[in-house]
Amino acid sequence: MAPRPPFRGAGDAPPPLPAPATWAFFLDLDGTLLDLAARPDAVSPEGGLAGMLVRLERMVSGALALVTGRAVEFVDELFPEQRFTVAGLHGAELRPSPSLAGHLLPPPPGTGDAAAFRAAQDLARDRALPLPGVLFEDKGRAFALHYRQAPEQRDAVARIMAEALALAGTGHRLRDGKCVVELGPAGQDKGMIVRNLMGSAPFQGRYPVAAGDDLTDEAMFRAVNALGGLSVRVGPEEALARSAASTGIETPGAFRSWLRGMTG
Ligand SMILES: O=P(O)(O)OC[C@H]1O[C@H](O[C@H]2O[C@H](CO)[C@@H](O)[C@H](O)[C@H]2O)[C@H](O)[C@@H](O)[C@@H]1O
């Protein structure tokens, strides 16, 4: 692989990637491609986002994956006309785009006990119900409690989710995110997905670029950095200071403009 092209320092939006067709893209959804919303079900892609991702995917011969905490099913509903390669539930799910079907290795199946998981889910849903502003999100093999509309409930949410984890037992773990605590399959993270995909065509042999805005994206940044790629933290400069990312872009809108500058 050729040496990594030079970039401007942390805090500056990077210039367009040199030779963008030679890169592989690992893109987070919420807070990166999508503006954050008050509720998990209130997000909607900006007009033109799907088309721009399709152009980008073509430009890099399919080396593009959406790497998200959402379930694959949710992403498909968000982009009903497309079937992108999606790593869902923070790496526990992997659904290749139709052109890559059969080429990508799925993550190992989870080892958790389904009945214990359901008991944990019921506990979290029931305990959250009387807490004003706390929202329960069902993601299939994972669930989350959100406190964006009630930041004062953060500790209560943390306690409920710790109890839920004790019920769910081995094979599960908690993940902290922006105003959210999630419980889902253990054993995978976004960094593992990057390493997995970078071992297969069409990702193999390319420079990886990963973009994200949250704690769970740090594993992806570290993986990409180790592979000599570019990691982009979307958010304010203070967030970049605490991140492993090599550069930063302030908002999802600015990040989308950066991509659009490469795809037209
Ligand atoms: O990995 P991502 O694609 O960034 O997904 C991470 C979590 O995003 C969602 O929650 C976040 O976005 C919501 C909508 O903007 C916001 O209301 C919430 O406060 C954020 O934490 C999603 O609901 C989770 O399932 C994802 O894991």
Q: What is the model's pLDDT at position 13?
A: 58
155 CA distance to ligand 1 centroid (A)?
Answer: 19
CA distances from 34 to 31, 76, 123 (A): 5, 14, 30
- Say if CB 103 and CB 85 are below 8 A apart: no
Q: What is the model's pLDDT at position 106?
A: 81
Q: What is the model's pLDDT at position 14?
A: 66
| Domain covering 114-185 in this structure, CATH number | 3.30.70.1020
Q: How confident is the model at residue 89 (pLDDT cuts 50, 70, 90)?
A: very high
pLDDT digit string (tens) for 47-72? 999 999 999 999 999 999 999 999 99
68 CA distance to ligand 1 centroid (A)?
Answer: 9
Asked if the model's pLDDT at residue 2 lies above 70, the reply is: no
Domain boundaries, the chain: 8-12+20-108+188-263, 114-185
Give the separation between CA 52 and CA 49, rounded to whole angstroms.
Answer: 5
pLDDT digit string (tens) for 125-169? 999 999 999 999 999 999 999 999 999 999 999 999 999 999 999
Asked if the model's pLDDT at residue 7 lies above 60, the reply is: no
Q: What is the model's pLDDT at position 4?
A: 39
Which sequence positions are flagged as catalytic? 28
Which atom of ligand 1 is closest in space to residue 29's alpha carbon? 3
Tell me which residue of 126, 43, 86, 85 sits closest to 143, measured CA to CA: 126
pTM: 0.94
Asked if the model's pLDDT at residue 8 lies above 70, the reply is: no
Query: For ligand 1, which residues put their CB under 6 angstroms from it?
Result: 28-31, 36-40, 43, 68-70, 137, 139, 144, 146, 148, 177-180, 182, 214, 216
Asked if the model's pLDDT at residue 191 lies above 90, the reply is: yes
Predicted interface score ipTM higher than 0.95: yes
Q: For domain 8-12+20-108+188-263, give its CATH number from 3.40.50.1000, 2.60.40.10, 3.40.50.720, 3.40.50.11540.
A: 3.40.50.1000
243 CA distance to ligand 1 centroid (A)?
Answer: 18
Asked if the model's pLDDT at residue 179 lies above 70, the reply is: yes
